[in-house]
Amino acid sequence: MIEMLKDYINQIESCTECEMCLDVCPIYQDGKNNTLTPLYMFKVTKKILNNEKLEQEDINAPFSCPKCEACSNICPESINVPAIVAELRNELFNQKYTPLKNHAAISESILKNENSVNKTPDIRWDWFPKDEEFPEDSSTLFFVGCLPCYFIKDGVVSSYNILKKINYDFRLLKDEGCCGSIFYDIGNMEQAEILYKKNLDKFDDLGINKLIISCSGCYKAFKNFYPEVTGEKIDVVHIIEVLNNELNKGKLKFKKLDENVTYQDPCNFGRVFKMFDEPRNLLRPSCNLVEMEHSKENTICCGAGSAVRSAFAPLSIRMALKRVDEAEKAASTLVSTCPFCVFNLGYAVRKNDRKIKVRYITDILDEALV
């Protein structure tokens, strides 16, 4: 692992400390803490490579970074800060500085309950319609994900409803389990490899060769983490890609709801995978779409990504509230294609007496579908 960290030293040495990254870094902008910056990540990297003693703030820094890509997008030297942060996390785990307490609890939940939210497996499918037969006959799996199944159930139901209404061929998996993205995010690559291979073997045994994903975290895991860790690929599409393709084929028709809606570009879905147009193509005929001041490449992170919400909730929620306050200036409803965004932004609304509604994108699309 430390050899991989060394590979980034030339990038780190190219930093001119222009501090442009600080202007867009959500964790630095939260409280102007100099230990929560890309520049500080570089200092921690050098301390590890020089075998220097690490303080707790050195350990916390990489795990406070949501890897939102805003810094890399603006860096004049094209320094890949999220990749450096990922390797820092790997090395900290390797040297047994981590896992952090809450990350250890989530890891235990995945191994014990096969979900990352510490819920019992028997209630995973409580959202499924009681009067319908569970679909289990297709090579295309709608992989729902832990957070959606247990906490963003409306979004799961609306996604399922749309797929059924357009007669899309798909199945569900009763022992779906967790995608395991957090193992990668906290640097536990050994456990990541075990779970990733287990899931891929399960899919192969069932003849599943394509995944539909509704969670940006699961999407990044299957799209990027799985091939990197196991060397194996599986066809992965986000449900918004599916619906946008169906729209282009003329198979989706919407009535326009009398609702002002603004869209939160998730960092992964947007800045990483460049899917800016697909959700907007679906929203424009469905509602009155109003853009926030910061959108698309310039979106502001919701604060939940890369296991930040689980380790540093107060920081995460403050970042979410900043985004909520901007959204309220634009519309009465805020939607996203990421359940983590919906969860964290919705929590910030409830705990801070804001009025805007926060919904998963397919909630709007299902209502507008004709």
pLDDT tens for 166-211 read 999 999 999 999 999 999 999 999 999 999 999 999 999 999 999 9
Average pLDDT over residues 47-52: 95
pLDDT tens digits along 121-145: 999 999 999 999 999 999 999 999 9
* pLDDT 10s digits, 80-121: 999 999 999 999 999 999 999 999 999 999 999 999 999 999
Class of the CATH domain delimited by 101-244: alpha beta
Helical axes 101-113 vs 189-205, angle rounded to 10°: 20
pLDDT for residue 49: 94
Under 8 Å between Cβ of 320 and 333: no
Distance CA 67, CA 269 (A): 13
CB 261 within 8 Å of CB 289: yes
Buried b (16+ CB within 10 A) or exposed e, 283-307: bebbbbbeebeebeeebbbbbbbbb
| pTM beyond 0.85, yes or no | yes
> Both ends of the chain: CA-CA distance in Å?
53
pLDDT value at 16 more than 70 = yes
**Residue ranges per structural domain of the chain:** 2-94, 101-244, 251-368
Q: Could you tell me which CATH class the domain 2-94 is placed in? A: mainly alpha
Amino acid 353: pLDDT: 95
The DSSP bridge partners found for residue 263 are: 335
Res. 5 pLDDT band, cuts 50 70 90: confident
The pLDDT assigned to 7 comes to 86
Distances from the Cα of 77 to the Cα of 14, 42, 62, 194, 271, angstroms: 7, 14, 20, 36, 18
Tokens of 142: 């709608």
Which residues, at least 6 apart from 179, have a Cβ–Cβ distance to it below 8 Å?
143, 145, 146, 199, 215, 217, 218, 221, 222
Could you report the per-residue pLDDT of 233-268, keeping only the tens digit for each?
A: 999 999 999 999 999 999 999 999 999 999 999 999
- pLDDT confidence bin for 6, thresholds 50/70/90: confident
CA distances from 344 to 77, 102, 155 (A): 32, 17, 14
Q: Given a cut of 90, is residue 4 above it in pLDDT? A: no
Q: What is the DSSP letter of 254?
A: B
63 pLDDT higher than 90: yes
* Token pair listed for 251: 């198979």
Q: At 3, is the pLDDT very low, low, confident or very high (cuts 50, 70, 90)?
A: confident
Closest to 360 (Cα-Cα) out of 161, 183, 109: 161
pLDDT at 2: 80
**3-state SS, residue 147:** helix
The CATH number of 251-368, from 1.10.3720.10, 1.20.950.20, 1.20.1050.140, 3.40.630.40, is 1.20.1050.140
- What is the residue-averaged pLDDT of the chain? 96
How much is the pLDDT for 1?
60
